[in-house]
């Protein structure tokens, strides 16, 4: 997946630069809606070469950088993590955002400490997709062994939701967003787009979202809405 766009600048809602790096890959790889994990490589040197080039585009213009990859921050090689730290110091980044899967939650504290030691605040996002635990685990196979938003929020600052899939309703989508806003600093709503996974978008649900849910949160500064998975300019 070398032809992906890997650097972009987000001007609206929480302005920041964003980079899509490549790591060793998601260790779960069972989510029924996801083929994001296909962007990986087991060669640490090759990953670092690619990631270093991508990171070279970071200017520090907003002082905020978001780092995403097809897994968690701990799936990035050590040289890449050191390069991220160097870029933060050199380009005067004061806040950095990372992604992390639930099973790696015990590592979030050490990541925060690592960046705090160089004067950078680390903000960590996780993908919960929905707070309906039965739907999430029986249908999406997400692998999150808690039904408590409070417990998830104890480790993570921001949350990603997946909407526009079969079985969702206006009520369920609004409930997920409101729950996210109650327990987390920011919510990112991803509308399902076609990929190679088993779950496909539901056009009826997407229409309900667009007509009845989207207008409620479109201008909320704490809610990012991606109607396409490339709306941030990467991918």
Going by C-beta distance under 8 Å and a sequence separation of 6 or more, which residues neighbour residue 229?
A: 190, 193, 235
pLDDT category of residue 235 using cuts at 50, 70 and 90? confident
Answer for the pair 64, 35: CB distance below 8 angstroms, yes or no. Answer: no
Q: What is the mean pLDDT of residues 183-197?
A: 96
- Please tell me the distance from the alpha carbon of residue 37 to that of residue 29, in angstroms, as a whole number: 7
Per-residue pLDDT of 202-213, as tens digits, reads 999 999 999 999
Q: What is the pLDDT of residue 231?
A: 83
CATH top class, domain 7-226: alpha beta
Whether 53 has a pLDDT exceeding 90, the answer reads yes
Q: What is the pLDDT of residue 229?
A: 83
Q: What is the mean pLDDT of residues 195-220?
A: 96
- Please tell me the distance from the alpha carbon of residue 82 to that of residue 79, in angstroms, as a whole number: 5
Whether 1 has a pLDDT exceeding 80, the answer reads no
The pTM for the full model equals 0.94
Domain boundaries, the chain: 7-226
Instruction: Indicate the SS3 state at residue 203.
Output: helix
Q: Which two tokens stand for residue 195?
A: 């990929």
pLDDT category of residue 2 using cuts at 50, 70 and 90? low
User: How much of the chain, in percent, has pLDDT values that exceed 70?
Assistant: 99
Q: What is the mean pLDDT of residues 130-151?
A: 97
Whether 17 has a pLDDT exceeding 90, the answer reads yes
- Please tell me the distance from the alpha carbon of residue 160 to that of residue 190, in angstroms, as a whole number: 7
Q: What is the mean pLDDT of residues 191-207?
A: 95
């Amino acid at each position: 997946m070398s032809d992906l766009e890997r650097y972009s600048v987000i001007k609206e809602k929480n302005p920041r630069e964003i980079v899509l790096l490549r790591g060793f890959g998601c260790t779960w790889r069972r989510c029924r809606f996801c083929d994001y994990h296909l962007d990986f490589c087991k060669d640490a040197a090759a990953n670092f070469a690619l990631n270093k080039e991508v990171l070279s585009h970071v200017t520090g213009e907003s002082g905020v950088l978001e780092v995403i990859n097809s897994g968690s921050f701990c799936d990035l090689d050590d040289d890449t993590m050191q390069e991220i730290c160097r870029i933060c110091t050199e380009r005067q980044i004061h806040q950095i955002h990372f992604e992390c899967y639930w099973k790696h939650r015990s590592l979030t504290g050490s990541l925060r400490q690592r960046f705090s030691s160089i004067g950078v605040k680390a903000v960590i996002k996780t993908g919960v997709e929905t707070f309906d635990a039965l739907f999430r685990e029986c249908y999406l196979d997400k692998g999150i062994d808690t039904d408590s938003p409070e417990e998830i929020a104890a480790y993570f600052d921001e949350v990603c939701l997946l909407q526009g899939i079969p079985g969702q309703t206006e009520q369920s989508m609004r409930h997920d967003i409101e729950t996210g806003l109650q327990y987390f600093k920011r919510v990112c709503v991803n509308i399902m787009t076609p990929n190679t996974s088993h779950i496909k978008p539901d056009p009826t649900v997407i229409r309900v979202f667009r007509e009845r849910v989207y207008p409620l949160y479109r201008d909320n500064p704490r809610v990012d809405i991606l109607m396409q998975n490339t709306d941030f300019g990467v991918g």
